[in-house]
Structure 1
Amino acid sequence: MDLKQKIWDQWVLMLHKQEDRAKRREALLLEQIRKSMPDYDEVADLSITELHVIQSIGEKGNVNVTSLAQRIGVTKSAISKITSKLLKKGLIDRYQLEDNQKEVFFRLTSGGESVFSFHEIFHRRLERQMLSFLSQYSDSELEFLQRVMRDATVEMEKSWKNQ
């Protein structure tokens, strides 16, 4: 088997393992949020997409439907549905600026802030693990890895557009 085929096989294996791990991580994160907020029934059925919207609002502050859709990579109608659910759950508020009554903005409530903080802690732990793992490589190896990942990302985006 040639080296390119070995790299492809390893790439596929890594993607499958990452997908499985991501599902387990998401389930664990949602379970930990539910346990940390037992008196807050609204988080019992929180979806990972709703969590991403909370994360985006928490990171950017006051955002509108368009900016949320762009940040998360979904349609504006999908964001409208998700924000409606989060509004009902009391995790976000909607408001309008005095000088712009056409546009609707969102911000986190105290419950939303709690979910956001928990998610941030979870992500920082994952980041520390990855940075620790990467510390075993030289700068030149890391630069090469960065180039491969950037090129692979561009290639994936091209192939998605063509499908």
Structure 2
Amino acid sequence: MKNNNYKQLEDSSHSIGKLIFQLRRLERNPRTFSDAGTLTPSEIHAVDAIGEDRNILMSQLADRLGVTKGAITQVVGRLEKKGIVCRTPHPEDSRAVEISLTEKGVVAYQAHRRLHQNFYRKLREQLSSDEIAIFEKCVKTFTSILNEENDGE
């Protein structure tokens, strides 16, 4: 029985490896988002975070995305050149800058949301609620184990 469980885990590990490969490939390739144009994954992730809050400070955006302020400044600069976001001085703190979506940015945000909704719809069509719950538990378990492994290095 233990050998069978080990084989199942090994097969699952290979499947997870394939999933990670697919996710990495998706994270490298720019996509076109409706009339908003083509955006890189880092750009659309920033658009998504800005769209959730409507107005967000540069420092908050960097924290939310887990990147440095320098990195987010570059991403926001590219988005600003594309007409996706605009920067405005914070009304109370002259050192802070607020970022908001332009109309074109809202189009990108909504197109990205639709992409996610379509993906989740497809998952719900193929997986039961119990299977989704098991998947979520597995992801949390894998993440926890990987965090322990990384902390031990």
TM-score interval, smaller chain: 0.7 to 0.9
Secondary structure at the aligned position of 1:100 is classed as coil
Question: Share of identical aligned residues, percent?
Answer: 23
CA RMSD of aligned residues (A): 2.6
Secondary structure at the aligned position of 2:67 is classed as coil
2:104 is matched with 111
Corresponding position: 1:150 with 2:143: no
Higher relative contact order by CA 8 Å / sep ≥ 6: 1 or 2? 2
Number of aligned positions between the proteins: 151
1:121 is matched with 114
Cα distance in 2 for residues equivalent to 1:129 and 1:90: 32
Q: Deviations over 1:52-99 (max 9, x none)?
A: 101110112211122212222222211111011111111101112322
Where does the alignment leave 5 or more consecutive residues of structure 2 unmatched?
none
1:11 is matched with 13
Letter in 1 for 2:5: L
TM (norm. structure 2) is 0.81
Q: Deviations over 1:20-57 (max 9, x none)?
A: 26635985x814x2xx32xx6xx34x211101101110
Where does the alignment leave 5 or more consecutive residues of structure 1 unmatched?
none
Cα distance in 2 for residues equivalent to 1:121 and 1:107: 20
Q: 1:70 to 1:118 in 2, by over 3 A?
A: same
TM (norm. structure 1) is 0.77
